[in-house]
Amino acid sequence: MKRDIERTNVFTRRALLMMGGQVAVLGTLAARLYQVQVREGARYTTLADENRISARMIAPPRGRILDRFGTVVAGSSTNWRVVLIAEQVNNVPATLEAFSALLPLSEYERTRIDRELHRKRKFIPVLIREFLTWDEMATIEVNAPDLPGIVVDAGTTRNYPFGRHLAHIVGYVAPPNEADVADDPLLGLPGLRIGRAGMEKFHDLGLRGRAGSVQLEVNAVGRVIRELDRQEGLPGEDVGLTLDAGLQQAVLATLADQSASAVVMDCRNGEVLAMATNPSFDPSVFNSGVSQAQWLEWTKDRRTPLINKATSGLYAPGSTFKMAVALAGLESKAITPADRIGCPGFLDLGDTRFHCWRKGGHGMQDLRGGLKNSCDVYFYEAARRTGIDKIAAMSNRLGLGVELELDLPGQRSGLIPTREWRMGKGHAWNIGDTIVSGIGQGFVQVTPLQLATYASRIASGRLVQPHLTRKLAGVLQPGSEPDDWSSLGMTDKLLQTVREGMWAVVNEQGGTAPLARLADPQAQMAGKTGSAQVRRVSRELRESGHFDSEKLPWEYRPHALFVAYAPYDAPRYALSVVVEHGNAGAAAAAPMAREIMTEVLRRDPANRSEAPVARVVEAGSR
Amino acid sequence: MDRRLWREPSFDLIAKVLQINWLYVVLLCCLAGVGYLALYSAAGGSPEPYATRHAMRFAMGMLIMLSISLIDIRFIAKLAWPAWLGGVVLLGLVLRVGHVGKGAQRWLDIGGLQIQPSELMKLALVVALASWFHRASRERMGNPLFLIPPLIAILIPVGLILKEPNLGTAAITLMLGGAIFFAAGVRWWKFVLVLLPLPLLGQFAYSHLHDYQRARIDTFMHPESDPLGAGYNIIQSKIALGSGGMWGKGFLQGTQAHLDFLPEKQTDFIFTMIGEEFGFAGGIAVMGLLGLIIIGGMLIALRCRNQFGRLVALGISCNFFLYVFVNIAMVMGVIPVGGVPLPLVSHGGSAMLTVMVGFGVLMSVHVHRDVVFADADDDG
């Protein structure tokens, strides 16, 4: 019994000790609870709010691109899409089967849908099909009871009412890549597109607008429970172009099936009214993704539909370059308008014989005649007298071989050779190089846009720069008035000499471009033809008398060029036309120029309400 | 109490029912009530699917507990070793045919009822050890050889539980055995001798742990290192608790729990949800209630007049205490996450059943606190 008591005492002592330990442990836990809940409560409250409140951005509507009359050339339209919300369906495959019975789904689409269904949470909609037509959408809506979980929803997509007519200028949008998203979180929003080319790219930031935001309460898996706060963003700004969309269509129609480009400018202020490149492409294809086959077709076409020939196509200007040579010679007094140069059909320099395009020669020619007849020998001699560096300086001043201040990405600057440039290449400059430069051959390379700018500057005597942006968010931009542009710094008398030569080319008996003559005698056009060889013609071939460029394979035929402005007495519009491998400027390019200029004048705002003749004459007296 | 009472046939069922500690029963009901409210909230303010089932299970558990409390403690003592053997067999069975959950086999499906043999084993072990030490005199306690059989009785189930593997329960079982050894009067220095090589043992054990267990320990050490992975539970639990503040967000207003940031809110992390909705005040109240139940069990042990009863009551109280400690320490990020529910509060039938069986035995100790064991009489 004594032992039992002893044992009981030991138990009691130790049990009490353990009770004390348990109370102490529970007390420690309570202290810890106090620490977490009361002392650090504020910090954890913040963390809790960060957990449950999710700020999301609202995509602002992208700004529109309009032509000079406010016609939409790039806008947003509703994109009817079909999505599937997996959690609303018991049997997903059966629903997809039912959908396929109405609108067949390809194997590729099925694979994509299955993959997304697998990856995304059940309440996140999975895209089944987009760009539905009205009929397709109606079919789905009517059969809605048989398609549980299928929802028709309205997204936005970029649409281009003028499609291929403005593809190179307006550009296109495409989904952003990862590098873009790092710059602007707005781009991370699903379905957002950014400008990838053309005006869509140049004005992308303005068109994009500013994102709004919405604060949402979400649960642990990201499902939205309710909206707590909303802040609307700023919609993207509209961009107004200098282009006339209707004119653009007409110009592109004129180019027909040729691989060609044409630029029409307002020569007083540099506004580009039309800039057409043929063939073109449909920009809306980029919205939904370009197929491999389509891409191959574009890249294999030797007429290069994806390249904007007006700003990136480089061509030897040929005889259209002769005004630059003439002005360089006149200004430097190397030649005078009255100087006469004899043309026997060729010019011999050392061992080399330089031919005139007319085999028999033109006889004695002054400047006016040299331009009118496009006499090569006259300009060989004029170039020789003037020197390449003065010709290059004048060309650059007139907008050739330099980068223009055009607001369109992807411009090429071309080349006007100089002695310095040739030295840089490790060669000495030959006098023969100057001679061929005199007729715009050799190293000389320019773009159709530069040619139109060149014609504008000769016509207006101002240093106009071609530009495409007229209004931003409805506000007229600087550069719209002629007085926004400074003078070329050349006397009008000098320019007038050259202008008269250009007038004679088109309107005088025996000029090289009678096909460019306008029907209306009151609105005359001044211009210059050009034919630029793409391959050297050998002496034997030329002298054999069997040379005929028409018989060459397409890609070896000379390019046909034409530059012009009108009306002659009160210049308003300038243009350039380049037909790749069109053989002769007078035959291929001049008639197009005539057709385009006729359309331009018909559309002249001054002609809208009154008789065209009276208005043009009045415009000339201003 | 008069010892003679037990020898008289008049000590019948009604007398026993009167002997039940009804205050203790009320405490248990209060705790289950807290559980009902918490589960109602966990279901987003609905008695389905947790709260109603919780109440029904508790009612059934209470019936079982009261029935067991009327069974003579001496009869329970006779069942001690068969129960231990049964527990070991079930543990062996679970390794062969048990359900796999979270990389471990723990559950046994018997006639639709899912049971966790390790929980039953702890109860059987307590009873078995108590019956062993019940017969021990002071002298025999001093003999190290006498301590070897009970040591083996602990290590066999602990080894089997480790093999499931269920680290938390194995540790609790080991501590439970230690507690009974301690209360039975094993000398201090023997504990010291066993505890000294423990760090080395820990190292050895760590290298043999499953990856998911090692991840738990690692993330416990540095929870912020992997905020969306294994550390997610601990961080979210602390955020939910902390955002509750002093007075809580109010019943059904806990944002973290209801927006599903808090994982397993109806089982392991139910205390967190209580803390978020009722604040520190609510948390401390629940802890107080749990403390009262533990102290009450210990007091039952102290008032018992036979060694078997004392040890059983102490073991059951300690088991409950360890449960509570592991769960609450876990949700506050004090110890690694262990998958231990809060008894009588968390959702889960098997745990509720074993806990109530335990309380039944505890109550039986209370009802029969003055009985005399025949073999103990020899001892005295």
How far off is chain B from A229, nearest CA to CA, in Å? Answer: 18
User: Token digits for A311?
Assistant: 């700003």
- Note whether B295 contacts A: Cβ–Cβ < 8 A: yes
- What's the pLDDT at B257? 81
- Domains, chain A, in order of start with CATH, read 53-71+161-239 (3.90.1310.10), 78-157 (3.30.1390), 245-280+308-546+555-621 (3.40.710.10)
Report angle CA A132, A138, A141 to the nearest 5 degrees.
Answer: 105
User: Token digits for A234?
Assistant: 């700023």
* d(C-alpha B8, C-alpha B3), whole Å: 10
- What's the pLDDT at A176? 76
Q: Do B242 and A40 touch (CB under 8 A)?
A: yes
Amino acid at A342: G
- Note whether A226 contacts B: Cβ–Cβ < 8 A: no
- Note whether B253 contacts A: Cβ–Cβ < 8 A: no
- Note whether B255 contacts A: Cβ–Cβ < 8 A: yes
- What's the pLDDT at A620? 37
A561 pairs with which residues across the strands?
A530, A578
Number of domains in chain B: 1
ipTM of the prediction:
0.89
- Dihedrals phi, psi of A410, to nearest 5 degrees: 90, 30
DSSP codes of every residue in A249-316: HHHHHHHTTSSEEEEEEETTT-BEEEEEEES---TTHHHH---HHHHHHHHH-TT-TTS-HHHH--B-
Residues of chain A with pLDDT under 70: 1-3, 121, 123, 178, 181-191, 220-222, 287-289, 536-550, 606-622
Q: Is the peptide bond before A279 cis (omega within 30 degrees of 0)?
A: yes
CA atoms within 13 A on the CB side of A362: 28
- What's the pLDDT at A466? 94
Of A11, A30, A52, the CB nearest to B255: A52
* d(C-alpha B237, C-alpha A113), whole Å: 37
- What's the pLDDT at A193? 80
Of A10, A44, A221, the CB nearest to B243: A44
Q: Do B298 and A6 touch (CB under 8 A)?
A: no
Residues from chain A contacting residue B279 (CB–CB below 8 Å)? 37
User: Token digits for A248?
Assistant: 């653009």
- What's the pLDDT at B346? 92
pLDDT averaged per 10 residues in sequence order, chain B, 380 residues:
50 82 95 95 89 93 94 92 94 78 62 76 94 82 86 92 79 91 87 78 75 68 54 81 89 82 83 94 96 96 92 96 92 77 86 91 93 58
Q: Do A45 and B138 touch (CB under 8 A)?
A: no
CB atoms within 10 A of CB A268: 22
Please check whether residue B308 is in contact with residue B73, taking contact to mean a CB–CB distance below 8 angstroms. Answer: yes
Amino acid at A321: F
Of B137, B307, B325, the CB nearest to A25: B325
Instruction: Give the domain extent around B214.
Output: 3-379
- What's the pLDDT at B345? 94
How far off is chain B from A24, nearest CA to CA, in Å? Answer: 11
